[in-house]
Amino acid sequence: MTGETLPPGSMIGVVGGGQLGRMLAISAAQLGYRCHIFAPNEFCCAAEVSAQHTQADYDDEAALADFAETVDVITYEFENVPAAPLRTVAEATPVYPPIDALELSQDRLAEKDFIREHGGRPAPYRAVDSIGDIAHAVEDIGTPGIVKTRRFGYDGKGQSRIFAADGAEPAWRNLGGQPSVYEAFIDFENEFSIILARGIDGEIRLYDPPRNRHADGILSTSTVPGEGIIPDQRAAASTLARSVAESLEYVGVLTMEFFTALDGPIFNEMAPRVHNSGHWTIEGAATSQFENHIRAICGLPLGETGLTADRIEMTNLIGSEVERWGDWLKKDQAHLHLYNKGEARPGRKMGHVTQLF
Ligand code: AMP
């Protein structure tokens, strides 16, 4: 049924049960679709707003096969899910975005190599599989730099910054001595992301790129229009994102994060999914990233992505910041989103606010 329109009323399978799944399910419901969430936790904030929930580990192939039988299309909201079992179910049930994109995003080294092949420029990097490699990498690239594990990193986890050469080996050991990359630390002016949606028919729509600010490796704010993003850099990053999406025959929302540098954008990483830096699109764009993802995977035409206000700012509510939810409600321009995730542990994304000016 690849390439066909999935009519409203159909069931969308979502692998992953976090806030991205929750917001996807809310958008799906608006268009008359139902969602079935596949996630390991008994309570998850995506299942709470969905028709069905399978509680099973991501590598439980039998449970995944049963789940696939109940849905018309499968998507994922989290990239650390094993790709092999998804490939098996994809023989009978379409999986979007394509599993090749998922696999690429699971391996920082493969991802950076792929981006270079497509004319993009990551920060200088070297593969690190041994103590010898880390010494050579630091010799070649210098310091400061960052060791990042090739797999299972997110929100600044699985990374360690190095200020002097003798810090490299302990940093790598502290990350478990896993296959990693060492990359140059970029003294960037700004960070921004390109968020695009690509439909089953190949149509591509781009959002206005937000300027992103991070604190402790976690996204703190996204602002649109993204001040400080030079038009040439935006154009180069958009061209790269389009060519990546086309070569992967991508379907759904794709996000690519960049640093601005004097001589052009530097690619940081990509996510084959809706992204935190696109949450502002719920109120700030004509069609949100969540709705466009649902439209794309269901074979519907994509929606317009233009801005609904002059300036838009999304602020993440991390950990105990969520306790100020009542203050945000008093601001006329603020739209509050709470994920009902329970305990507000430090570093946990509990909600966000989008302000339209
Ligand atoms: P990542 O998980 O790779 O997206 O890293 C999280 C954040 O850490 C990025 O958004 C940047 O703010 C910072 N960061 C990551 N890599 C670098 C780098 N090579 N140079 C400078 N800052 C970085």
269 lines ligand 1 (CB under 6 A): yes
Residue holding tokens 């995506």? Answer: 46
Please state the atom number of ligand 1 nearest to the C-alpha of residue 185.
Answer: 20
Residues 72, 48: Cα–Cα separation, whole Å: 20
Residue among 35, 47, 84, 45 nearest 64 (CA): 84
Please state the atom number of ligand 1 nearest to the C-alpha of residue 148.
Answer: 3
**Which residue of 121, 268, 275 sits with most ligand 1 atoms within 8 Å of its CB, as the best mutation to test the pocket?**
268
Cα(132) to centroid(ligand 1), Å: 24
What is the residue with the minimal CA distance to atom 18 of ligand 1?
185
Pick the CATH number of 11-95 from 3.40.50.20, 3.40.50.620, 3.40.190.10, 3.30.420.40: 3.40.50.20
Taking residue 161's Cβ as centre, other Cβ atoms within 10 Å add up to 15
144 lines ligand 1 (CB under 6 A): no
The CATH-assigned architecture of domain 190-356 is 2-Layer Sandwich (3.30)
Looking at CATH, the fold of the domain delimited by 124-184 is given as Dna Ligase; domain 1 (3.30.1490)
Residues 237, 119: Cα–Cα separation, whole Å: 10
What is the residue with the minimal CA distance to atom 19 of ligand 1?
185
Taking residue 198's Cβ as centre, other Cβ atoms within 10 Å add up to 26
Cα(282) to centroid(ligand 1), Å: 25
**Tens digit of each residue's pLDDT (9 = 90 or more) over 7-58:** 999 999 999 999 999 999 999 999 999 999 999 999 999 999 999 999 999 9
| Phi, psi (deg, nearest 5) at residue 71 | -125, 165
Cα 50 to chain centroid distance, Å, stands at 21
What is the residue with the minimal CA distance to atom 11 of ligand 1?
217
Q: Do domains 124-184 and 190-356 have the same CATH topology?
A: no
The one-digit pLDDT tens for each residue of the chain (357 residues) are: 345 799 999 999 999 999 999 999 999 999 999 999 999 999 999 999 999 999 999 999 999 999 999 999 999 999 989 999 999 999 999 999 999 999 999 999 999 999 999 999 999 999 999 989 999 999 999 999 999 999 977 666 789 999 998 988 898 888 888 999 999 999 999 999 999 999 999 999 999 999 999 998 899 999 999 988 888 999 999 999 999 999 999 999 999 999 998 888 999 999 999 999 999 999 999 999 999 999 999 999 999 999 999 999 999 999 999 999 999 999 999 999 999 999 999 999 999 999 999
Q: In Å, how far are 44, 64, 324 from 312, measured between CA atoms?
A: 29, 39, 20
- All structural domains of the chain with their residue ranges: 11-95, 124-184, 190-356
